Chain A
Amino acid sequence: MSETVKLYKSNQPLLMQGNEACGWGALAAGCRFFAGYPITPSTEIAELLARNLPRVGGYFIQMEDEIASIAAIIGASVAGSKSMTATSGPGYSLMQENLGYAYMAEVPIVVVNVQRGGPSTGLPTKVSQADTMQAKWGTHGDYYPIVLAPSSVKECFDMTIKAFNMAEQYRVPVTVLTDEVLGHMREIVILPEPSAVKVLNRPRPVDPPEWYKHFEITPDYLSPMASFGEGYRFHLTGLTHDESGFPTAKPNEIKAKLDKLKLKITRHREQITEIRSDMMEDAHIMVFAYGSTARAARQAIRMARKKRFKVGMVQPYTIWPFPDDKIAPLLENVDTVVVPELNQGQIIGEIERLSRRHVKVVPLQRYDGELITPSQIVDVIKEEHA
C-alpha cells in the first residue's frame, strides 16, 4: 500500500471487535468507498470507516437507505474504486435487487452481512445464521455468489481482505457473512502491517479502447475491467447482454452470458473454496459447523474427545460456492454428521445432498437468539455414539 498514513497498530496485541476487524480489513485491502445505512449489529463497521476512510483519501457516505447504499457502491466500483457496504438482514433484503444487478453487470463489490434474528426486523441484538440461504438465493435468476464465513475476530480481518481480492479477481459481489456474536465479540488480535497484506486488483484491459469489450468471454471466463472515464466505452445494464454490454435477445449470446456467470466461479471453485478440518483422521462422527457456531463445535469436539468419542470437525470458510470437492471425501470416512446451526435447517441440506443418504445427518438447530453451547453439541454426539 502506498499510503503513509498509519491505519492501525500492527504487530502488537489489540483487543478488537469482529466488526472493527472487518473495517480495518477493508482498508488494508484497498477499500476507498463505503456507502451504507446504520443497522444493528453491523453499525461499528460504518463508524470505523466513517472515521478512517477520509484519512486515506477515501469516501464515506451515509445514504438514505440500503437500496441507495448498494447502488452507490456499484457506481463507485464501476468508476474504479474498491467499494463496500455493511448491513444486517433487513438491509440485506433491500439490497437483493441491486445485488442481482451487480452479478449481471459483473461489478466487484463487498457486502458484509452481520446476521441477526429474522424474518423482518426480527431480533436486532441477537445472533442468527438464518441468512445462509438468502446469501445464495436472495435475488432472482441463475447466478453464482461467493460467500465467506469467518469465525473469529482475526478471520473477520483476513476474510474481508479475501472478499475484496475475490471480488476483484472474479468481478463478482462477495458477501462476508458474519453474525451478531462475531461482530460484537472482542478478542486479542495481532494484525499484520498493511504493506504485508496480499492485495489483488481487477484485471485491466491491455487492448486499445476501440477493441475493448467489457464482458469479453476469455478462456478462463474472467474479463478485464476498465473504469468509466478512462476512455474505454462500454454499456452497463441489468438486461442480458452481449460481450460489449448491449442487450441481446439472441439465444446463443444469452446462453454464453449465463454460462460465463456460472463458469467464472465453478471453474475456479478449487481456488475459491477453503475449509478447515480438525481431528478428522480417526473420526466416526463429524461435526459440520461454520461462523460463530464453529466456536462451540471446536470446544465440543475437545470435550467429547476427553470422553474418548471419535469425533472431528469440518468448518467451511467458504459457504458458497459450497466446497463439494473438499467435503465429499471427508464424508466417506464417517458414519454420522452433526450439523449445528442457528436457524431451522439451512446448510444441512448441502450435507444431505453430498452424503447421498450413505451417512446419517443429524440436525442441531437453535433459533431462540442465543448461541449453541458446546455441551448441547456434546449431548448430540453422546446420543449418536450410543
Chain B
Amino acid sequence: MTEKKQTFDRYEIRLSGSGGQGLVLGGVILAEALGVYEGKNVTQTQSYGPEARGGASRSDVVVSDGEIYYPKATELDLLLCLTQESCDQYYPSLKEGGLLVVDSDKVRQVPSPKAFSLPFIRIAREKVGTPVVANVVSISAVAGITGICSKDSILKAVLARAPRGTEEKNRLACELGYEMGAAAERGVHV
C-alpha cells in the first residue's frame, strides 16, 4: 500500500456483477470518498436493466486531478467482478497492466494469473454476518489494493451512506475489506 498521494490524469474503475449486489451504491460511496474526502474530480455512472434484482449491473467511477470530459469508463485501470458473467464480459476492456479484482467464490475461471482473487461475499457473510455488505467489503478492498484513497476517506464515505443502525456492521466490513486489499497488494495470502 502506498501512503503518498497519487495523482491521476484519468483513472477508470468499473464495479461489475449482478443487480442487487449493491454495486451502484458501492460506486457512489467510492466516488464520494475520492471526490468529497480526497478532493479529486470524479464522475460516477451506471448501467443496469429494468429489473430490481438479477440482470447485469455495473457502476463506473472515473477519477482525475483535472477536468473529466467523458464520464464513462472505456479503458479500465481497475475491474472488479462479483460474477463470472461480468468478468467474461468486461475483462477485454481492461487496459494492459490494469488490475483485475474478482470474488474468489463467484469467479472460478479467472482470465489472468495476476488477478486479485478475494472472498468478498464470504467475508461479508461469515465475519460481518450479512452478505449485504459485500459491496462495502469489495470497494474497501479496491481502496486497499490501489491506495487510490485513504482508509479514513473510504470509511467516512461508507458511514455517511450507511442506514441508521448499520454503522457498526459497515465499519467492520470496511476495515476487513481495506486490510484484505492492502495485504493482498503486499503479497500476503489471506
Residues in chain A within 8 A of chain B (CB atoms): 13-15, 40, 124-125, 181, 184-188, 292, 295-296, 298-299, 302, 371, 373-375
The stretch of B45-53, B102-110, B127-135, B176-184 that contacts the partner chain: B45-53
Chain A contact residues: over half helix, strand or loop, or mixed?
mixed
Known contacts A188-B41, A373-B74; A15 and B48 CB within 8 A of each other = no
Q: Smallest distance from the beta carbon of A338 to chain B beta carbons, Å?
A: 16
The stretch of B64-72, B77-85, B118-126, B166-174 that contacts the partner chain: B64-72
Cβ–Cβ contact A125 & B42, under 8 A: no
Q: Smallest distance from the beta carbon of B73 to chain A beta carbons, Å?
A: 10
* Bound Cα distance from A181 to B71, whole angstroms: 9
Q: Which residue in B36, B42, B45 is a CB contact (below 8 Å) of A181? A: B45
Cβ–Cβ contact A186 & B70, under 8 A: no
Cβ–Cβ contact B36 & A299, under 8 A: no
A-B contact pairs, 16 of them (CB 8 A): A13-B36, A14-B36, A15-B35, A15-B42, A125-B47, A125-B48, A125-B49, A181-B71, A181-B72, A185-B45, A187-B35, A187-B41, A188-B42, A296-B69, A373-B70, A375-B74
B39 CB within 8 Å of chain A: yes
Interface bits B19-49 vs A (CB < 8 Å: 1, else 0): 0000000001001100110011111111111
* Bound Cα distance from A364 to B182, whole angstroms: 44
* Bound Cα distance from A185 to B47, whole angstroms: 10
Cβ–Cβ contact A186 & B43, under 8 A: yes
* Bound Cα distance from A40 to B68, whole angstroms: 26
* Bound Cα distance from A40 to B69, whole angstroms: 25
The residues of A that contact B70 with a CB separation of less than 8 Å are 295-296, 298-299, 373-374
Known contacts A40-B50, A125-B49, A186-B43; A15 and B31 CB within 8 A of each other = yes
Known contacts A15-B36, A187-B71; A124 and B50 CB within 8 A of each other = yes
Cβ–Cβ contact A187 & B43, under 8 A: yes
Interface range for B: 20 to 34
Interface centre among A187, A302, A371 (most CB of B within 10 A): A187
The residues of A that contact B42 with a CB separation of less than 8 Å are 15, 186-188
The residues of B that contact A299 with a CB separation of less than 8 Å are 69-70
Chain B contact residues: over half helix, strand or loop, or mixed?
mixed
Q: Select from chain B the residue with minimum beta-carbon distance to A302.
A: B69
The residues of A that contact B72 with a CB separation of less than 8 Å are 181, 371, 373
Q: Select from chain A the residue with minimum beta-carbon distance to B32.
A: A15
Cβ–Cβ contact B35 & A13, under 8 A: yes
* Bound Cα distance from A302 to B66, whole angstroms: 13
Q: Select from chain B the residue with minimum beta-carbon distance to A186.
A: B44
* Bound Cα distance from A181 to B35, whole angstroms: 19
Known contacts A299-B69, A302-B69; A13 and B39 CB within 8 A of each other = yes
Q: Select from chain B the residue with minimum beta-carbon distance to A292.
A: B71
* Bound Cα distance from A40 to B52, whole angstroms: 13
Interface centre among B42, B50, B70 (most CB of A within 10 A): B70
Known contacts A373-B74, A375-B74; A184 and B46 CB within 8 A of each other = yes
The residues of A that contact B69 with a CB separation of less than 8 Å are 295-296, 298-299, 302, 374
Q: Smallest distance from the beta carbon of B76 to chain A beta carbons, Å?
A: 13
The residues of A that contact B44 with a CB separation of less than 8 Å are 15, 185-187
* Bound Cα distance from A141 to B109, whole angstroms: 61
Q: Select from chain A the residue with minimum beta-carbon distance to B43.
A: A187
The residues of B that contact A15 with a CB separation of less than 8 Å are 28, 31-32, 35-36, 42, 44
Q: Smallest distance from the beta carbon of A8 to chain B beta carbons, Å?
A: 14
The residues of B that contact A302 with a CB separation of less than 8 Å are 69
The residues of A that contact B41 with a CB separation of less than 8 Å are 187-188
Q: Select from chain B the residue with minimum beta-carbon distance to A373.
A: B74
Cβ–Cβ contact B28 & A186, under 8 A: yes
Q: Smallest distance from the beta carbon of A123 to chain B beta carbons, Å?
A: 9
The residues of B that contact A298 with a CB separation of less than 8 Å are 69-70
Q: Select from chain A the residue with minimum beta-carbon distance to B35.
A: A188
* Bound Cα distance from A83 to B45, whole angstroms: 29
Cβ–Cβ contact B71 & A295, under 8 A: yes
Cβ–Cβ contact A188 & B36, under 8 A: yes
The residues of A that contact B31 with a CB separation of less than 8 Å are 15, 186
Q: Select from chain A the residue with minimum beta-carbon distance to B75.
A: A375
Cβ–Cβ contact B36 & A185, under 8 A: no
* Bound Cα distance from A164 to B43, whole angstroms: 27
Q: Smallest distance from the beta carbon of B173 to chain A beta carbons, Å?
A: 20
The residues of A that contact B50 with a CB separation of less than 8 Å are 40, 124-125
Q: Select from chain B the residue with minimum beta-carbon distance to A152.
A: B71
The residues of B that contact A184 with a CB separation of less than 8 Å are 45-46
* Bound Cα distance from A124 to B45, whole angstroms: 16
**Contacts A185-B43, A187-B44, A188-B35 known; 11 new A-B pairs at CB < 8 A:** A15-B31, A15-B42, A181-B72, A184-B45, A185-B44, A186-B42, A187-B71, A188-B36, A299-B69, A373-B74, A374-B69
The residues of B that contact A188 with a CB separation of less than 8 Å are 35-36, 40-42
Q: Select from chain B the residue with minimum beta-carbon distance to A123.
A: B50
Q: Select from chain B the residue with minimum beta-carbon distance to A374.
A: B70
The residues of A that contact B39 with a CB separation of less than 8 Å are 13
Q: Smallest distance from the beta carbon of B60 to chain A beta carbons, Å?
A: 10
Q: Select from chain A the residue with minimum beta-carbon distance to B42.
A: A188
Q: Smallest distance from the beta carbon of A74 to chain B beta carbons, Å?
A: 31
Q: Select from chain B the residue with minimum beta-carbon distance to A40.
A: B50
